[in-house]
Structure 1
Amino acid sequence: MIEEIRIEDLGVIGRAHVPLAPGLTAITGETGAGKTMVLTGLALLLGRRADAATVRTGARQATAEGCFVVDPGSRALDRARDAGAEVDDDGTLLAVRTVAAQGRSRAFLGGRSVPQAVLAEVAEELVTVHGQADQMRLRSPRRQREALDAFAGTAHLDRLTAYRRAWTERQELQAELDDLVEHAQERDREAELLRIGLAEVERVDPQPDEDLALAAESERLGHAEDLRTAASSAYLALSGDGDAAPRGPGAGAVPEVDRARRVLEQASVHDEELGRLATRVAEVGYLLDDVASDLAGYVDTVQADPARLDAVQHRRAELTSLARAHGGTVAAALAWAREAGLRLLELDGSGDRTASVRARIAEADTVLGGLAGEISQARADAARRLAAAVTGELEGLAMAGSSLEVRLVPLDPAGPWGAEEVEMHLVAHAGAPARPLGQGASGGELSRVMLAIEVALATSEDSGAARPPTFVFDEVDAGVGGRAAVEVGRRLAELARQAQVVVVTHLAQVAAFADRQLVVTKSSGADGDVVTVSDVREVTGDERVAELARMLSGQEDSAAALEHAAELLERSTVGR
């Protein structure tokens, strides 16, 4: 709800403080005192368009500041925090709007500068303004549908939630099916290419690291004679056999090391250190002997084999061609084959997926059809009841002969909110054609229609309406008087049992029903300008009776008017 509003240099208002509270608050005052500017200040806080012409003459800027109390967990609170606003522990949220005389405006929410649109988003959850310029939120088809669904009750809203969930799932299934059908040929082409690629991999049948092993074998076979010569020469150099020995036959490394070992062992009896060296020389001899033996074996294995070399080179060419197509190596080709096999299984199963999705869509359509039928039936019943309730309210609001029609327009196919659209039409008077809300009715009439709808929603036993915590009415009493004015006040008081209600009125019959009454007064400044005095004043007791008398007769000191005002205030007890 709104806790207070402060306004500076806006229109005829120099400075004003408007304290508000739960229940019904009436704002009254003489014409030109600044009642409308109070609503203009509120409109700025609600993110409405700023107009530099509203800045008070001679002032640098106009300022509107509002203090809102926001319920924990509300969407308004979440949106404010998303925008970086700071909210007190008790849920108090401060909003500020400034309008420069040059036309530039700035908005602040919870101490943080925010775009004007953010104020509008938060305000939509907090305040509903009914006035000549606003034409009320229920004018839009979406709001009309929401109002009817709320009037239909909580069970209907639960059913609508289930329908929405089923409809969303059905849309997702349809999108999946559309994708399957649209890209069927692409998947067929992809599958065929994968089969060709996998067939080639299967034909070549590469083994892990086969390309590396074949490369080494090709190198060895290609230089077999050089390798054999090198190994033979090394063997002869070590063993000392043949002409390759460095110092002739018998002078190889192995015999020489063996001779050195024997010399050292003979002399080691005289020195242990020399014995240890003899042991190390013996180890060298054993190692050389092993290497010589391995070289002899290697010479026997290395043979020129042109047929094998040709086979290896052919195999390498196959592997190279395969690897070039799938990543450059045999390992990459094997990895591609694994992934391609999985993808092919998925593609081959797309036909089964299509059938499965079609079956699930059929099931979803059955569920949606059942829910849509139940929703349509509940809406039809609620439409009759809401139309009757609002029509009954209109009779007491000086609109005898007027009636509300709530029509259900079928949709084919059903939409995200059911199988019909909701349209509210007003018959302005007996014999008049039914026209959509907002067309063919004056602002005052439209405000009273919306008041009747709000009262019907507020007083319905099973209403699931998610109403904002504050309603503001301007010109709701335009064109009415007498008993009709009393009924307007009575219905505002009934609505105030459910929410905070603020009404700007010039009728004492309406103001008398308020829990509190604020009076906007005016006085002439030294320069002749008309400004409000420093604050909006709450009137109670005799002062309130005098204000009601002024509203009744224009004379707050008339004995007859004072008596009438006191009687009116005493009898207006509903909702206070």
Structure 2
Amino acid sequence: MLTSLAIRNVVLIEALDLEFGAGLSVLTGETGAGKSILLDSLGLALGARADTGLVRAGAAQASVVATFDLPVAHPAAALLAENDIAMDVGEPLIIRRTVKADGGSRAFVNDQPCSAALLRDLGGSLVEIHGQHDDRGLLNPRGHRALLDSYARCDSAAVADAHGAWRTAAAALAQARETVDHAARDRDYLSHAVDELRKFAPEPGEEATLAGERATMQKGARLTDDLSAIADCLTGSDGGLAQLRQAARRLDRIAAEEPLLGAVLDALDRAVAEAGEAEDRLAEAVEALSFDPARLDAMETRLFDLRGLARKHQVAPDDLAALCDEMAARLAAIEGGEGHIAALEAEVRGKDAAYRAAARALSAERQLAAGRLDAAVAGELAPLKLDAARFRTVVAPLDEGQWSGQGMDRVEFEISTNPGAPFAPLAKIASGGELSRFILALKVALAERGGADTLIFDEIDRGVGGAVADAIGERLSRLAQGSQILVVTHSPQVAARGAGHMLIAKSSASENGDIVTRTGVHALGERERREEIARMLSGAEITAEARAQADRLLEKL
């Protein structure tokens, strides 16, 4: 609900702060007083084109601030969340728009900058402005299907779920077919490659292992002569270790003859032990560095072939085993693909049938609801002096390519204004106050089921009076029981129905030798309201009879 509107330097409005309440609020005033400026200001806040002509003469910029109180789970909250604009529960929504006199505009939502496009999207969920040039709200066929579903209380969730399942299954089938078709083109290549890789049997880490073993064996080949010479020095009957052991045995026999010889024997025993350990380590080194020309040749050949396969398939050597598995799976997909595709085709047919059944059931609900809505609107037309007009809700099938989670129907509201005239969209054959009255009839028939919380009707009573104006006022009042309604009116019958009444007036004054014209708006009290309705009844000179008639209009409501 729109709670306030602050306007600064817009055309003839210098500074204006308005408060709005629930129910029906009426705005009246002489022709040319500036009612359109008020609507243009609100339109600016809701994303309309930022025309520099709106800036008041002599001002640097114009600004409009609109404040809304929104219920929990209002569509605007989700839209703000999608655009990363914070809005706390229970806090008002504040929209601010500025236009500079030299061009350029800025927009803010809750003090966070945003685009004019976002304002337009927000505006569509917050306010509907119905006038002779309006092309939003009920005049936009894109929203007619949702309005009919809301009116009929259709639950389209089952259709949306069935459509999602159908499209998911169809996508899986398309992907499977593409995979099989692609793989089938490479059948011979895959068969040869898998056979080659399986015979070679590469293993992850094999390249590093082979390279390490080859390096070790090559090192052994270089060190063979040195290791052999070292072994000769240590081992054998004439080796150093044998000589040490022989010396130790002889010393052991004579060590008791002289105390110093015991120390020599201990040292010699330690040397024998160390030399023995050296002999063992040398044997291990010789074993580790053993050189086998046949084995080295085999390792080099496998390493060369391993790296050649990796280059051939453009992968790392360690990835060859995984590539073999992947190619084998693709080959298996060719061999078993037809059976898999057949199963997916059966699933798609089942999902398709489920969607069609759900969508047809929804279509049947819409057809029944369309008949009820047509009858409800028809009942509203005659009192609004539209008794020659006919209204119908068209529920027509869409092409299969246009089916969606909302079903397989196109929904559009159409009218025929004269007997025998063809039906056509609302906006194409109705104009001015007639169009607004069609909108009002449709809104009353739809009651509170869909659309924005705030509705603005601009001169809905144009060209009518008496009983028709009274019927318009009665329906606006009824509609306002579930929505906030603002109506710009010249009809006293409509004005008398308002829960709140604002007077728009233009005044001129001399300032510094210049004539300055301003538009102002102020809320009317009970006495002022009576005088304004009397003025609307009698014209410039308010008569006693006009005041009495105004009293009668106000008393009967």
Q: Given the two structures, how large is their TM-score scaled by the length of structure 1?
A: 0.85
Q: CA deviation at 1:555?
A: 4.6
Alpha-carbon contact 2:26-2:489 (below 8 Å) kept: yes
Q: Which stretches in structure 2 are left out of the alignment for 5+ residues? A: none
Q: State the partner residue of 2:17.
A: 17
CA distance in 1 between partners of 2:35 and 2:221 (Å): 113
Q: Does 1:362 align with 2:358?
A: no
Q: Provide the C-alpha distance between the structure 2 equivalents of 1:347 and 1:542, rounded to a whole number of angstroms.
A: 89
With over 3 angstroms needed to count, the CA separation of the structure-2 counterparts of 1:525 and 1:349, relative to structure 1, is: farther
In structure 2, the residue corresponding to 1:509 is in which secondary structure? Answer: helix
- Change in 2 beyond 3 A, CA 1:309/1:440: closer
Equivalent residue, structure 2, for 1:281? 271
Deviation at 1:435, TM superposition (A): 2.1
Quick one: distance in 2 between partners of 1:230 and 1:102? 95
Determine if contact 1:191/1:348 at 8 Å carries over to the other structure: no
Letter in 2 for 1:425: E
How far did 1:466 drift? Answer: 3.0
SS in 1 for 2:447: helix
Would the aligned equivalents of 1:327 and 1:333 in 2 still touch at CA under 8 Å? no
Structure 1 residues 204 and 80 mapped into 2: Cα distance closer, same or farther (>3 Å)?
closer
What are the equivalent positions in structure 2 for 1:90-109 lying under 5 Å apart? 90-109=90-109
Equivalent in 158, 173, 177 of residue 177 of structure 1: 173
CA–CA distance in structure 2, aligned partners of residues 295 and 169 of structure 1: 69
1:443 aligns with 2:443: no
Amino acid at match of 1:237: C
Deviations 1:120-174 (A, max 9, x none): 1112111111112214422222122222222222xx2x1x222122223322333
Structure 1 residues 222 and 150, CA, compared in 2 at 3 Å: closer, same or farther? closer
Q: Could you tell me which of 460, 464, 479 is aligned with 1:476?
A: 460
Q: Deviations over 1:428-462 (max 9, x none)?
A: 13343322211121121111111111111116xxx
SS at match of 1:18: strand
Indicate the SS of the match to 2:151: helix
Structure 2 CA distance for aligned equivalents of residues 504 and 162 of structure 1: 43
Deviation at 1:348, TM superposition (A): 4.4
Counterpart CA distance in 2 for 1:543 and 1:450 is: 31
**Where does residue 334 of structure 1 map in the other structure?**
321
Paired residue secondary structure (1:91): coil
Q: After TM superposition, list the pairs within 5 Å mapping 1:93-492 onto structure 2.
A: 93-153=93-153, 156=154, 158=155, 160-182=156-178, 184-206=180-202, 229-239=225-235, 241=237, 250=238, 252-258=239-245, 261=248, 266=255, 269-270=259-260, 277-290=267-280, 318-326=305-313, 331-346=318-333, 348-413=335-400, 415-416=403-404, 417-458=406-447, 465-492=449-476
* Contact 1:264/1:278 (8 A) holds in 2: no
**CA–CA distance in structure 2, aligned partners of residues 145 and 347 of structure 1:** 46
**What's the CA shift for 1:356?**
2.2
For 1:494, the equivalent position in structure 2 comes to 478
Q: Deviations over 1:536-573 (max 9, x none)?
A: 2111222111111011112574110011001101112x
Instruction: Describe the superposition over 1:46-73 as per-residue Cα deviations: whole angstroms up to 9, x where unpaired.
Output: 1111222222222222221111112223
Checking the alignment, whether the CA contact within 8 Å between 2:7 and 2:15 is kept in structure 1 is yes
Partner of 2:527, secondary structure, is: helix
Give the corresponding residue for 1:50.
50
Equivalent pair of 1:211/1:319 in contact (CA under 8 Å): yes
Give distance in 1, aligned partners of 2:102 and 2:203: 81
Q: Distance in 1 between matches of 2:216 and 2:64?
A: 92
In structure 2, C-alpha distance between the alignment counterparts of 1:297 and 1:29, rounded to whole Å: 112
3-state secondary structure, aligned to 1:41? helix
Give the whole-Å Cα distance in 2 for the aligned partners of 1:298 and 1:132: 99
User: 390-399 or 209-218: which moved more?
Assistant: 209-218
The 5 A counterparts of 1:502-513 are 502-513=486-497
**Residue in structure 2 matching 1:530, options 512, 517, 525:** 517
Change in 2 beyond 3 A, CA 1:381/1:34: same
CA distance in 2, matches of 1:12, 1:84: 36
* 1:75 alignment partner AA: P
Does structure 2 retain, via aligned residues, the 8 Å contact 1:55–1:101? Answer: yes
* 8 A contact 1:492–1:501 mirrored in 2: yes
Looking at structure 2, the residues matched to 476 and 27 of structure 1 have their Cα atoms a distance apart, in angstroms, of 12
Whether the 8 Å CA contact 2:244–2:268 is kept in 1: the answer is no
CA distance in 2, matches of 1:409, 1:260: 117
2:529 maps to: 544
Equivalent-residue separation in structure 1 for 2:437 and 2:339 (angstroms): 60
- 189-198 vs 374-383, which moves further: 189-198
Following TM superposition, by how much is the alpha carbon of 1:501 offset from its aligned partner in structure 2, in angstroms? Answer: 0.8
Decide which moves more: 106-115 or 321-330: 321-330
Alpha-carbon distance in 2 for matches of 1:224, 1:83: 70
Task: Give the drift of 1:260.
Answer: 6.1
CA contact (8 A) 2:106 2:113 kept: yes
Structure 1 contact 135–447 (Cα < 8 Å) conserved: no
277 and 200 in structure 1: CA distance in 2 versus 1, 3 angstrom threshold: same
Unaligned ranges ≥5, structure 1:
242-249, 460-464
Instruction: Please give the TM-score of this superposition, normalised by the length of structure 2.
Output: 0.88
Cα distance, 1:93 vs. partner?
A: 1.6
Could you say what the CA RMSD is over the residues aligned between the two structures, in angstroms?
A: 3.3
Q: 1:125 to 1:191 in 2, by over 3 A?
A: farther
Decide whether aligned partners of structure 1 residues 332 and 165 sit closer, same or farther in structure 2, where only a CA change above 3 A counts: closer
Say if 2:26 and 2:502, in contact at 8 Å, map to a contact too.
yes
Deviations 1:308-351 (A, max 9, x none): 77766665654454344356776443343234334444554433
Contact 1:261–1:281 under 8 Å retained in 2: no
CA 1:272/1:17 → structure 2, altered by over 3 Å: closer, same or farther?
farther
Question: Would the aligned equivalents of 1:424 and 1:437 in 2 still touch at CA under 8 Å?
Answer: yes
1:500, 1:304 → 2: CA distance?
98
Instruction: Find the counterpart in structure 2 of residue 245 from structure 1.
Output: none
Letter of the 2:125 counterpart: E
SS in 2 for 1:449: helix
Partner SS state of residue 16, structure 1: strand
Distance change >3 Å, CA 324–CA 543, structure 1 → 2 = closer
